[in-house]
Amino acid sequence: MLSPEIPTSPGDGGAGAPPLTVGVSLKMYFGHARTLEWARAVADVARTHPAVTGGLVDLFVVPTFPALVPVREALAGTRVHLGAQDLAWADEGAYTGEVSGRELREVGCDLVEVGHAERRRLFGEDDRVVADKVHAALRNGLTPLLCVGEETAPAGDAGEQGASTALAAVTGQLESALGAAASAGTVGPVLVAYEPVWAIGAPAPAPDAHIVGVLDGLRAWLDARPELGGSRVVYGGSAGPGLLTRGAGRIRGLFLGRFAHDPAAVAVILDEALALEGVAA
């Protein structure tokens, strides 16, 4: 799980709420040398930036499998958490090419991404596979970074109706994804990344009002389930600078992709978080 130093009380801002959560997945964009260069630069930012050192933002990075150990070493002495992009549903055995949650935990991962739309579309991962992987993460002490999102953009100016339709879709995905762990009695806190499939790789994120409406609904859904206490919700899907500010405290985290390939962009978002929380840089 995420380290004990991170508060786990759910909330959506204000006193007693958890910090903002900001993460970056590198997918398969970088080679090994560039990944390590990027990680060292982010580590330098994290060692000195008051949003991280002061506990206002929990920062995590998700590199490729071969980079996990050297990135962990690059992050030593920071409060940055390490995540993996995938895991096997089994803990050991004859599964060529797979990496278990047990090994990920052993090498220092705190969280692992599960259920991303690209895994579903490109590699045929269905609801059963996602549920088994969430279970594998939880039983190995890893926080599932559980990706959910509706396929189709709301038609026109759908407003609250569009957010309501999306919320029904993503809470159904959560119910399914948590099913195997719940049946085994190993359910626990998750980090939900709301990533509308239609916004992934788009020039801009989903409309602000749509994002806020779905995130509010997801937090309410999670808060109503004590067994998921400590869960958090972040937004992904072409997320970038400015979104936290426009969310006015109701967007409590971002899951970044290509907009964070420049480490300076990570610092910009941390600056934004400081301003949002009313702290001078």
Q: Which two tokens stand for residue 27?
A: 């997918």
User: 281 lies in a domain?
Assistant: no
pLDDT at residue 153, as a whole number:
85
Q: What is the pTM assigned to this prediction?
A: 0.92
pLDDT at residue 18, as a whole number:
74
pLDDT over 80 at 16, yes or no: no
User: 8 lies in a domain?
Assistant: no
DSSP class of 266: H
Interval 86-101: pLDDT, tens:
999 999 999 999 999 9
User: 6 lies in a domain?
Assistant: no
CB 33 within 8 A of CB 39: no
Share of the chain above pLDDT 90, in %: 83
Model confidence band, residue 173 (pLDDT cutoffs 50, 70, 90): very high
Q: Mind telling me the catalytic residues?
A: 116, 195
pLDDT at residue 218, as a whole number:
98
CATH code (residue 75)? 3.20.20.70
User: 57 lies in a domain?
Assistant: yes
> Sign of the C-alpha dihedral, residues 148, 255, 2, 7?
negative
User: 39 lies in a domain?
Assistant: yes
Model confidence band, residue 203 (pLDDT cutoffs 50, 70, 90): confident
Rounded mean pLDDT of the chain? 91
pLDDT at residue 160, as a whole number:
67
CA distance 268 to 208: 19
Least confident of 62-66, 100-104, 106-110, 160-164: 160-164
Total of domains in the chain: 1
Model confidence band, residue 123 (pLDDT cutoffs 50, 70, 90): very high
Alpha helices by DSSP H, listed for the chain, are 32-48, 50-53, 68-74, 101-106, 117-123, 127-139, 159-177, 179-184, 208-223, 243-247, 263-276
pLDDT at residue 7, as a whole number:
37
Q: Which domain holds residue 142?
A: 20-276
Summarize the confidence of residues 14-42 as an average pLDDT.
Answer: 90
